[in-house]
């Protein structure tokens, strides 16, 4: 049975509505899954002529009412955004709505109405102005599911990266890294790839300092204090993990296939290589959510500067939906045998 993918609309003032409508014109999406948009039907109808789509918008209250047909976009309509919301502007209304779309998706995932969640981008400033003080999607999902041990994973066809820290300043990120966090993220990486079919996944951990500290030459022993004990604990459990290794060469080695996934210590250390490899094919995955909830996302922002202009490319959204499809059947199969 094809998995049901709940696609949240993100910030309605950004490119989310456009890339969703564009992605859902691709026949292969319907061949491989049953997509449902969780958002605002008025906005999707408004972008239809912009992106030259003639798909029918089908309003539903429950996934059981969906048609799942190419040419029809099934929408669970929360109806909380004004029809004349300006594109390309920060809006508290749109920020609050983006949060509500995610909350509805989590509700549906918890009740097994959808098999995974795929999110269009939100705008953090709008989110905060809308009253929701989260750094981003990952932290919202963790809060709504009661998850403490989670991480962000980024993927491209040739590179996978998981993070020890994400949306905090660099000094705070380094201060927050400790052996327990290192161990837990390495274990999350191992469990996630093992469930995805990797046999003994090869994991490598980046150093914090240049050249991974080079035996005390750079930094103040952060690798030995914050990373090494967690790596050794994972190794003692039979996890195939190496490090800390110099980040400047590690991503090249991973890209050529030496490792299946890289553990990055902070946001830009992991995000920059992924985006150089190809932002249009990048996918963001939240790892470790309670209840086995799967969430994938485009790896780009709301792009307010091009919103409503039919410029936005839907390839990252397609890649995110495909990642959700790839992961969802495995969860469904495990549930069947539980």
Q: Do 267 and 307 share a domain, yes or no?
A: no
Structure tokens at 280: 């249009």
Point out the domain boundary residue: 288, 309, 327.
288
Q: Quick one: pLDDT band at residue 333, thresholds 50, 70, 90?
A: very low
Q: Which residues share a beta bridge with 203?
A: 241, 261
Residues 98 and 70 in one domain: yes
Same-domain pairing of 199 and 138: no
**Contact between residue 2 and residue 32 where contact means Cβ atoms under 8 Å apart:** yes
Mean pLDDT of 283-294: 86
Residue 83 has pLDDT above 70, yes or no: yes
- Domain housing 313: 1-146+289-338
Distance CA 71, CA 154 (A): 31
Residue 322, token pair as written in the block: 């495909």
Question: Which one has a higher pLDDT value, 201 or 299?
Answer: 201
Percent over 70 (pLDDT), the chain? 96
Residues, the chain = 338
Average of per-residue pLDDT across 274-285:
78
Q: Which pTM was predicted? A: 0.81
- 178/181 Cα distance (integer angstroms): 5
> How many separate domains does the chain show?
2
Task: Give Cα separations from 247 to 254, 307, 324 (angstroms).
Answer: 10, 35, 29
Residue 335: pLDDT band (50, 70, 90) is very low
Residue among 257, 331, 249, 284 at smallest CA distance from 161: 284
CATH number, domain of 127, equals: 3.40.718.10
CB neighbours (10 Å) of residue 155?
Answer: 22
Does residue 84 sit in the same domain as residue 16? yes
Mean pLDDT of 6-12: 97
pLDDT average, residue stretch 34-57: 96
Residues 160 and 56 in one domain: no
Q: Higher model confidence: residue 33 or residue 280?
A: 33
Distance CA 320, CA 279 (A): 12
Cis peptide before 244 (omega within 30 of 0): yes
| pLDDT tens profile 105-116 | 999 999 999 999
Do 142 and 154 fall into the same domain? Answer: no
pLDDT digits (tens, 9 = 90+) for 192-209: 888 777 889 999 999 999
Share above pLDDT 90 across residues of the chain, in percent, rounded to a whole number:
75
Among candidate residues 154, 110, 130, the one with its CA nearest the CA of residue 13: 130
User: What is the torsional sign of CA 143, 328, 72, 53?
Assistant: positive
* pLDDT score at 149: 83
Ordered strands of the 241-245 beta sheet: 56-60, 72-77, 34-39, 4-8, 116-119, 295-298, 283-287, 151-156, 159-163, 261-264, 203-206, 241-245
pLDDT at 203: 98
**C-alpha angle 322/328/332, rounded to 5°?**
155
Looking at the fold, whether 58 and 134 belong to one and the same domain comes out as yes
Which pLDDT score is estimated for 279? 63
pLDDT confidence of residue 327: 74
Shared-domain flag, residues 173 and 300:
no
Could you identify the residue written with the tokens 């110099």? 246
Average pLDDT of the chain to the nearest whole number: 91
Please say if the pLDDT value at position 36 is more than 70: yes
Terminal-to-terminal C-alpha distance of the chain: 18
333 against 282, higher pLDDT:
282
Which of 253, 269, 288 represents a domain boundary (last residue)?
A: 288
Residue 304, pLDDT above cutoff 70: yes
- Domain boundary at 264, 288, 312, which? 288
Dump pLDDT digits (tens) for 110-153. Answer: 999 999 999 999 999 999 999 999 988 888 999 999 998 888 89
Q: Are residues 103 and 133 in the same domain?
A: yes
Q: Are residues 154 and 266 in the same domain?
A: yes
Please report the pLDDT score of residue 338 as a whole number.
37
Residues 30 and 157 in one domain: no
Domain shared by 317 and 338, yes or no: yes
In terms of C-beta density within 10 A (0-12 exposed, 13-18 middle, 19 or more buried), how is residue 4 classed?
A: buried
């Amino acid at each position: 049975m094809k998995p049901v993918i709940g696609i949240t609309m993100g910030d309605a003032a950004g490119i989310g509505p456009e890339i969703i409508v564009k992605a859902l014109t691709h026949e292969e999406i319907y061949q491989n899954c049953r997509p449902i948009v969780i958002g605002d039907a008025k906005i999707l109808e408004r972008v239809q002529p912009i992106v030259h789509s003639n798909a029918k918008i089908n309003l539903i209250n429950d996934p059981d009412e969906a048609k799942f047909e190419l040419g029809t976009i099934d929408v669970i309509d929360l109806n909380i955004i004004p029809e004349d919301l300006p594109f390309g502007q920060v809006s508290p209304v749109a920020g609050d709505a983006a949060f509500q779309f995610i909350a509805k998706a989590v509700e549906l995932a918890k009740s097994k109405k959808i098999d995974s969640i795929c999110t269009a981008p939100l705008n953090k400033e709008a989110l905060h102005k809308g009253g929701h003080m989260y750094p981003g999607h990952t932290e919202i999902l963790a809060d709504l599911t009661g998850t403490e041990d989670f991480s962000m994973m980024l993927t491209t066809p040739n590179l996978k990266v998981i993070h020890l820290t994400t949306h905090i300043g660099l000094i705070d990120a380094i201060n927050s890294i400790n052996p327990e966090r290192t161990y837990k993220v390495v274990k999350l990486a191992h469990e996630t790839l093992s469930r995805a079919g990797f046999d003994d996944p090869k994991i490598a951990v980046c150093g914090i300092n240049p050249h991974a500290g080079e035996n005390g030459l750079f930094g103040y022993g952060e690798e030995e204090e914050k990373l090494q004990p967690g790596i050794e604990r994972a190794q003692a459990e039979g996890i195939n993990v190496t490090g800390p290794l110099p980040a400047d060469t590690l991503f090249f080695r991973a890209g050529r296939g030496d490792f299946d996934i890289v553990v990055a210590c902070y946001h830009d250390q992991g995000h920059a290589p992924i985006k150089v490899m190809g932002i249009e094919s990048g996918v963001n995955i939240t790892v470790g959510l309670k209840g086995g909830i799967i969430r994938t996302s485009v790896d780009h922002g709301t792009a307010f500067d091009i919103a409503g202009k039919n410029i936005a490319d839907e390839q990252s959204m397609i890649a995110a939906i495909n990642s959700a499809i790839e992961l969802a059947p495995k969860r469904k199969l495990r549930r069947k045998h539980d």
